[in-house]
Amino acid sequence: MRRRRDAVGEFNIWPAFTDALGGLVMVLVFLITVFVIAEVLVSREILGKETAIGQLRRIVDHLEGLAGDAEKEAARLRARAQGLETTVGERDTLLAQLRDELAAAQAARALSDADKSKAEQGLTGAQEQAALLSVRAERLAAELEQLNRALAADQQDLAQRDAVIVEQKGR
């Protein structure tokens, strides 16, 4: 048997309480949904930035590698230029020796003109020596020309590579 609790003056709070709790649950679900959506958007933004940072790091690593290679190439070209300068110095030394030998040959020729009897005997020897010196001078002149061309080409190549290095470092 059921007792009747609803009296005429008594107020029933349960329907209002369940409505308030239902509203509170809906507000909490709405807030949680907003926070989840915000979290997803923030995580996508962070992922995009991390991807961009990773790409930039790869680009920087690649550029550092290129700069290192360019510096190695520049050092190699400087060493080559120094070697060519040494070769030019040797060429100049040989040229000075040839000039000295030529001066000695000319002095011997002048002596041979002064002494005719010795000149006829020494003339053939001096002519042979002059011919040998002339051949040697021609060979050395040809070698000198070849070395000058190689030096000019290497200096031009070095200047171009230095310009490329400066351009790459400027980026």
Q: How far is 59 from 54, CA to CA, in rounded Å?
A: 9
Q: Where in the sequence is the domain holding 124, given as residue range(s)?
A: 79-171
In the numeric block, the tokens 């010196």 are attached to 133
Question: Is 38 in the same domain as 106?
Answer: no
Q: Are residues 161 and 110 in the same domain?
A: yes
Residue 85 shares a structural domain with residue 146: yes
Whether residues 140 and 87 fall in one domain = yes
pLDDT number for residue 127: 86
| Mean pLDDT in consecutive groups of 10 residues from the start of the chain, 171 residues | 52 91 97 98 95 95 92 92 91 91 86 72 80 89 91 90 85 65
Looking at the structure, do residues 90 and 46 belong to the same domain, yes or no? no
First CA to last CA distance, the chain:
94
At residue 2, the pLDDT reads 41
pLDDT the model gives residue 82 = 92
103 and 163 assigned to the same domain: yes
Residue 97, domain member (yes or no): yes
Determine if the pTM surpasses 0.85: no
Instruction: Count Cα atoms within 13 angstroms, Cβ side, for 93.
Output: 6
Q: Interhelix angle for 116-170 vs 14-114, to 10°? A: 170
Are residue 60 and residue 144 in the same domain, yes or no?
Answer: no
Same domain, 54 and 118: no
Into how many domains does the chain fold? 2
